[in-house]
Amino acid sequence: MRMTERQCPLCGSAGNSKVYSEANFDAQRLDEFSFASRKIPEYAHYRLMLCGKCDLIYASPIPAENTLSSKYQEAEFVSADESGYASLTYGRVLASMLSKLPDLESALDIGTSDGAFLEVLVSSGFDQVEGVEPSRASIAAAKPEIRSLISEGIFDSSCYQGGKFSLITCFQTLEHLSDPQKLCRDIFGYLKSGGAGLLVCHNFRAVSSKVLGARSPIMDIEHLQLFSPVSLKIIMENAGFTNVKVKRVVNRYPLHYWTRMLPMPNTLKKYLIETSKRLRIGLVPVSLPAGNISVTGYRNS
Ligand SMILES: [Zn+2]
């Protein structure tokens, strides 16, 4: 596997960076399953650097980009009910910002997976709703009436007109990109005046991440960077957003989903998940701050 060095994707320099955690991965195990979202974590990761200026953790070196994007196209969809629960969580964040949008004409969801959040956008009253998603298996898992709203592929700014959308959302995707700053600039560029961006990602400064350390599920081979409230604000402001606000997200998932995040061997975890589902206690929804943060920002030009 050909590996390339990266600089900090926010400040463009490695001068403020030190090693946060040495590489821990087996190239033989980078199979399809490792690249699907929300699977059982395996604690594998590339070498992680911490930029002291931006408060950003970023992977370096990483595999060449073409290898990575083909991996995402082939990724399997493994999480139907979880994506539904996540969408309801993000829907609550959306509800708090609807009145601040210029209108509800059009919304785009980047990395929409099975389009569960597109349903939320439609029911929130948006006229035109679109999603983009690289994984064919995830699109195939979408409800028939939602599937036609999803374009297959990696988000490519050349596909969209500038100044078009009232709202662009992007959940749990920023960590996966080799150039996350470009995505935020593209989102800004494709918003109409007054339009908003809403993104959600992991917070490596969250208590849960600190307690678990290298056993945290966010220390993962699929994450090319990890944000904190500081770095998430920086990436949005660099892109041109104003009135940027970072908030903690309280996730609501069935109990068996939280079991997946526990630092214990996979065999024991599978046993606990199956048993709790069978006894139905695993299906009970539980709300916890799982170490996710949302950021909102507006285009005032
Ligand atoms: Zn930096």
**Amino acid of residue 125:** G
CA of 232 to the centre of ligand 1 (A): 12
Average pLDDT over residues 227-243: 98
Beta strands 285-298; 242-254: pairing state: antiparallel
CA of 264 to the centre of ligand 1 (A): 33
Q: How far apart are CA 120 and CA 95, in angstroms?
A: 10
Output the CA 134–ligand 1 centroid distance in Å: 28
Spacing, Cα 183 to ligand 1 middle (Å):
17
CA of 163 to the centre of ligand 1 (A): 29
- How far does residue 57's CA lie from ligand 1's centre (Å)? 9
Q: How far is the CA of 14 from the centre of ligand 1 (A)?
A: 7
Q: Where are the domains of the chain?
A: 3-298
Judge whether residue 217 has pLDDT over 70: yes
Mean pLDDT of the region 185-196: 95
Say if residue 36's pLDDT is above 60.
Answer: no
Q: How far is the CA of 191 from the centre of ligand 1 (A)?
A: 26
Ligand 1 centroid to residue 54 C-alpha, Å? 4
> What pLDDT sits at residue 73?
65
Question: Nearest to residue 166, comparing CAs of 119, 107, 244, 91?
Answer: 107
Q: How far is the CA of 51 from the centre of ligand 1 (A)?
A: 5
Q: How far is the CA of 222 from the centre of ligand 1 (A)?
A: 20
CA of residue 139 to ligand 1 center, whole Å = 35
**pLDDT interval class at 70 (50, 70, 90):** low
Residue 15 has pLDDT above 80, yes or no: yes
pLDDT surpassing 90 at residue 236: yes
Confidence of residue 28 (pLDDT cuts 50, 70, 90): low
Predicted confidence at residue 69, as pLDDT, reads 59
CA atoms within 13 A on the CB side of 64: 4
pTM of the model: 0.86
10 C-alpha to ligand 1 centroid (Å): 5
CA of 108 relative to ligand 1 center, distance in Å:
29
Instruction: Calculate how far, in angstroms, residue 64's C-alpha sits from the geometric centre of ligand 1.
Output: 21
On whether the CB atoms of residues 131 and 143 are closer than 8 A, the answer is no
Average pLDDT of the chain to the nearest whole number? 86
State in Å: Cα 15 to ligand 1 middle: 8
The pLDDT, as a whole number, for residue 266 is: 80
Give the per-residue pLDDT at 40.
54
pLDDT recorded at residue 29: 62
Per-residue model confidence as pLDDT tens digits over 95-139: 999 999 999 999 999 999 999 999 999 999 999 999 999 889 999
Distance 217 CA to ligand 1 centre (A): 23
CATH code for the part of the protein at 3-298: 3.40.50.150
pLDDT, residue 8, reads 97
Question: How many angstroms is it from 236 CA to the middle of ligand 1?
Answer: 14
What beta strand segments (E) does the chain contain?
Answer: 3-4, 17-21, 48-51, 56-59, 62-63, 106-110, 128-133, 150-152, 165-171, 191-202, 225-226, 242-254, 285-298
Among 186-195, 198-207, 220-229, 256-265, the minimum mean pLDDT is found in: 256-265
Mean pLDDT of 51-60: 97
User: Ligand 1 centroid vs 234 CA: distance in angstroms?
Assistant: 10
Give residue 193's pLDDT band: very low, low, confident or very high (50, 70, 90): very high
How far away, in angstroms, is 12 Cα from ligand 1 center? Answer: 6
Q: Is the pLDDT of residue 218 over 60?
A: yes
The answer, yes or no, to whether residue 42 has pLDDT greater than 80, is no
From the CA of 229, how far away is ligand 1's center (Å)?
Answer: 14
pLDDT tens by residue, 152-183: 988 876 677 777 899 999 999 999 888 999 99
